[in-house]
Amino acid sequence: MAPVNIMKNRIRVFLVIFLVVVAVALAVYLLCYPALRDLPQIKESGRLVMLTRNNTTTFFIYRGFRYGFEYELLKHFADENKLKLKVKIINAWDQMIPALRDKTGDIIASNFTITPQRARRVSFTEPYLVTREVVVASDKVTDVASPEDLDGKTVHVRRSSSYYQTLKHLEKSLGIRINVKFVDEDVETEEILYMVSKGKFTLTVADSYIAELQKTFYPNLKILFPVSHDRKIAWAVRKSSPELLKALNSYIKKIKKDGYLNIIRNKYFRRKKWFARIASHPGFTLKSGRISEFDELIKRAAAEVALDWRFIAAVISVESGFSPSRKSWAGAVGLMQLVPRTAEKYVRGDVSLPENNILAGSRYLKELYKIFAEVPDKDTRLKFVLAAYNAGMGHVWDAMTLAEELGLDKHSWEGLKKALELLSKKQYHSRAKYGYVRGWETVNYVEKVWEKYQLFRTLVSE
């Protein structure tokens, strides 16, 4: 064979091998990495997932309602884009970026400082806060007055925090040696500050606005001196989400200009008396470990009916916002918004009283739970219970029948959800036994209670 032909054959073989390798690599990539999730896909799904931590500056529960500086800003953005904001609490700080990159959530909103190390892995928005990192001690510490005095001192921080990077920079620039002790990655900066106030830790580093806020709770904290230049706080998104990044940047510029950012910032960082009142309330879940002032009543009722008390608390939170005097236009009363004639089947006495109302509502939930025994999955069964609690059993039976007619799984939430939504249309409700129902409202109710329940499960022990 001529040398030219041999060369041509070798080139063909090489090209075939190259194309096979590229095809295999592409297939592996598509299998290992989920589909793109940028702003169009987020809008199509109808929800934006916020990755955060449970603390006083980002996100917390008070009397069953959601608050927090980061939460309110992002909720405003979600509302403007007609999106539901779902909150996902990440258990450890060093898992924030992995959770973002594996699409557990869409955006990190949790006092996240822009650092070169993080910027290599994620895309940061325009900053919405500028702060300085400061050294904090209790008022008993008297021998630390400057960064040089940190030489030989013990300072407690998280390894993944920007504070650790600041301490390393100080050691190098000042020629000192700091004894850095690492706390667990699930420990909040405010928890470290609490330990400092109690004398269990000597020193720590924190953002100045966090330290100032915590002085409201722990007056013996002493902010010593800054150890950084201005630090920029921003949200983080995946590098594969440029449209989300663009929309967030436009939003941040807008709220800076129209004053909304200042309003929310002042609410959380300037109104310290308001915050102190919240922090001392039993419904401030972060500090009290409780959901509401009615926890003991809820737990007693839950124990009787063998349901998770946090599930019942989620129902109460959505139904009445833990307000026992709430009355609806339809005549429903009390914490669990029961119609008296329904409540009287389950308790004797005044059904507007918290104890009677909670017990009646819990017993009603348990009865519904038994009725839907044919639903095999426990969580799905609880969603059916919520749908019946909101719309009535008859409409849920109608929806299950319709789901089966449509070839859907009548024992799945997705099947029931689709059928409930269709029962608001004449072509479907005209032949249903129990007729018309605002199915979309019931679906929204179920998903709202369920999200609350998941948050309570994350934040409060069983």
Residues 427, 447 within the same domain: yes
Encode pLDDT of 239-258 as tens digits.
999 999 999 999 999 999 99
d(CA 299, CA 309): 5
Q: In the structure, what pLDDT confidence band is assigned to residue 31 with cuts at 50, 70 and 90?
A: very low
Q: Where are the alpha helices (DSSP H) in 93-230?
A: 96-101, 116-119, 162-174, 189-197, 208-217
Query: What local confidence, expressed as pLDDT, does residue 238 receive?
Result: 97
Residues 258, 121 within the same domain: yes
- The vertex-42 CA angle with 423 and 86, nearest 5°, equals 75
Above 60 in pLDDT, residue 410? yes
Residues 179, 121 within the same domain: no
Residues 272, 213 contacting (CB under 8 angstroms):
yes
Above 60 in pLDDT, residue 363? yes
Q: Which residues pair with 62 in a beta bridge?
A: 65, 284
Q: Is the model more confident about 243 or about 327?
A: 243
Residues 171, 241 within the same domain: no
Kindly list the distances between the CA atom of residue 126 and the CA atoms of 234, 252, 284, in Å, as whole numbers in the listed order.
6, 7, 31
Residues 341, 380 within the same domain: yes
Record the tokens describing residue 330, joined without a space: 């339809």
Record the tokens describing residue 197, joined without a space: 């106030």
Q: What is the CATH number of the domain that holds 337?
A: 1.10.530.10
- The vertex-451 CA angle with 247 and 444, nearest 5°, equals 80
Instruction: Classify strands 65-67 and 60-62 as parallel, antiparallel or unpaired.
Output: antiparallel
Residues 116, 170 within the same domain: no
Can you tell me which residue has the tokens 């004398």?
Answer: 199
d(CA 405, CA 227): 67
Residues 140, 188 within the same domain: yes
Letter string b/e over residues 219-256, b meaning 16 or more CB atoms within 10 A of that residue's CB: eebbebebbbeebebbbbbbeebeebbebbeebbeebe
Please compute, for residue 377, the number of CA atoms within 13 A of its CA located in the half-sphere on the CB side.
10
Q: Which of 312, 304, 311 is nearest to 358 (CA)?
A: 312
Query: What local confidence, expressed as pLDDT, does residue 329 receive?
Result: 79
Strand order in the sheet with 47-52: 84-89, 47-52, 107-108, 236-237, 123-124
Record the tokens describing residue 412, joined without a space: 């799945």
C-alpha Rg value of the chain to the nearest Å = 27
- Quick one: how far is CA 34 from the chain centroid? 22
Judge if pTM exceeds 0.85. Answer: no
**Averaged over 114-130, what is the pLDDT?**
96
Above 50 in pLDDT, residue 106? yes
Above 90 in pLDDT, residue 275? no
Residues 309, 400 within the same domain: yes
**Type and span of the H or E element at 51:** strand 47-52
Please report whether residue 148 resides in a domain: yes
DSSP sequence for 209-238: HHHHHHHHH-TTEEEEEE-SS-EEE--EE-
Residues 305, 170 within the same domain: no
Q: In the structure, what pLDDT confidence band is assigned to residue 328 with cuts at 50, 70 and 90?
A: confident
Q: Is the model more confident about 430 or about 283?
A: 430
Q: What is the mean pLDDT of the chain?
A: 90
Positions marked active-site:
319
Above 80 in pLDDT, residue 17? no
Residues 251, 214 within the same domain: no
Q: In the structure, what pLDDT confidence band is assigned to residue 268 with cuts at 50, 70 and 90?
A: confident
Burial class (CB in 10 A: 0-12, 13-18, 19+), 419: buried
Residues 297, 356 contacting (CB under 8 angstroms):
no
- Quick one: how far is CA 241 from the chain centroid? 20
DSSP sequence for 357-426: HHHHHHHHHHHHHHHTTT--SHHHHHHHHHHHHHH-HHHHHHHHHHHHHTT--TTSHHHHHHHHHHTTSH
- % pLDDT > 70, the chain: 89
| Phi, psi angle pair for 437, to nearest 5° | -150, 140
Please report whether residue 216 resides in a domain: yes
Residues 395, 458 contacting (CB under 8 angstroms):
no
Burial class (CB in 10 A: 0-12, 13-18, 19+), 143: exposed
Residues 137, 202 within the same domain: yes
- Quick one: how far is CA 182 from the chain centroid? 26
Please report whether residue 15 resides in a domain: no
Q: What is the CATH number of the domain that holds 199?
A: 3.40.190.10
Query: What local confidence, expressed as pLDDT, does residue 27 receive?
Result: 52
**Averaged over 211-235, what is the pLDDT?**
92
Q: In the structure, what pLDDT confidence band is assigned to residue 32 with cuts at 50, 70 and 90?
A: very low
Residues 306, 354 within the same domain: yes
The structural domain count of the chain equals 3
Last residue of one domain, picked from the residues 229, 261, 277:
229
Q: Determine the structural domain holding residue 225 and report its residue range.
A: 133-229
Encode pLDDT of 144-172 as tens digits.
999 999 999 999 999 999 999 999 999 99
d(CA 373, CA 392): 16
d(CA 355, CA 249): 49
Above 90 in pLDDT, residue 276? no
Q: Which of 338, 379, 330 is nearest to 362 (CA)?
A: 338
DSSP sequence for 248-291: HHHHHHHHHHHSHHHHHHHHHHT-HHHHHHHHHSTTBHHHHS-S
